[in-house]
Amino acid sequence: GEDVEQSLFLSVREGDSSVINCTYTDSSSTYLYWYKQEPGAGLQLLTYIFSNMDMKQDQRLTVLLNKKDKHLSLRIADTQTGDSAIYFCAEFYGANNLFFGTGTRLTVIP
Amino acid sequence: NAGVTQTPKFRVLKTGQSMTLLCAQDMNHEYMYWYRQDPGMGLRLIHYSVGEGTTAKGEVPDGYNVSRLKKQNFLLGLESAAPSQTSVYFCATRTSFYNEQFFGPGTRLTVL
């Protein structure tokens, strides 16, 4: 079955860059996603990358994809306290579904 | 537009009781999903539906049933609740054109 791995916790100081990592197993995944979950809320899509891309930049967010190593990362530049949340990577598999990682809880220290 | 709504927001059940969680969407999306979220395990797919009148099993379907009688509603039922079903339940929807899923705010269920 699918397996998407993330480290559970990350702490950074306000203003530093955060890098959240993810490894996945299905090399046929067409899309890979990053979702953000704030306390007490549902998940919101942050960004996604198509599998034929190596990098995607969206304002403070940079997604890097290494297909050979099946490694996905999300870099948040100039991390702010409002970025404190749980971040999930997800891969699209089969015809219909997303498979989510365990989530990384990002804590931003003022 | 309300987007994706879930009722109730919180519920406490005793072992063996039954209940139904309702997911409603006003986005006219074809696909609807029920997930459960447990600490350290991410989201796991329970059941999903690709259109009105259809349902399919996800990763962890045991102990749950679903129905999609109307396109805008997706119901998740627990016939005989167990403590292992204590979790936060999320509903999500998407169109058939794009893969982005839109999530509801969640239902926190505790089974004593």
A-side interface with B, Cβ within 8 Å? 1, 4, 8, 31, 33, 40-45, 48, 88, 92, 96-103
User: What mean pLDDT do residues A20-26 have?
Assistant: 89
Beta-bridged to residue B111, according to DSSP, are: B13
B12 CB contacts (<8 Å, ≥6 apart)? B109, B110, B111, B112
Whether the CB of B88 is below 8 Å from some CB of chain A: the reply is no
Closest CA to A20 of A78, A87, A81: A87
pLDDT (tens digit per residue) in B68-77: 999 999 999 9
3-state secondary structure of A70: coil
pLDDT at B1 over 80: no
CB contact under 8 A, B42 and A97: no
Amino acid at A24: Y
pLDDT at A90 over 60: yes
Residue A77 is predicted with a pLDDT of: 97
User: What mean pLDDT do residues A68-76 have?
Assistant: 93
Give burial (CB, 10 Å; 0-12/13-18/19+) of B94: buried
- Contact residues on chain A for B31, CB-CB shorter than 8 A: 96
Q: How far apart are the first and last CA of chain A?
A: 40
Q: How far apart are the first and last CA of chain B?
A: 36
pLDDT at A2 over 80: no
CB contact under 8 A, B48 and A97: yes
Whether the CB of B62 is below 8 Å from some CB of chain A: the reply is no
- On whether the CB atoms of residues A29 and A51 are closer than 8 A, the answer is yes
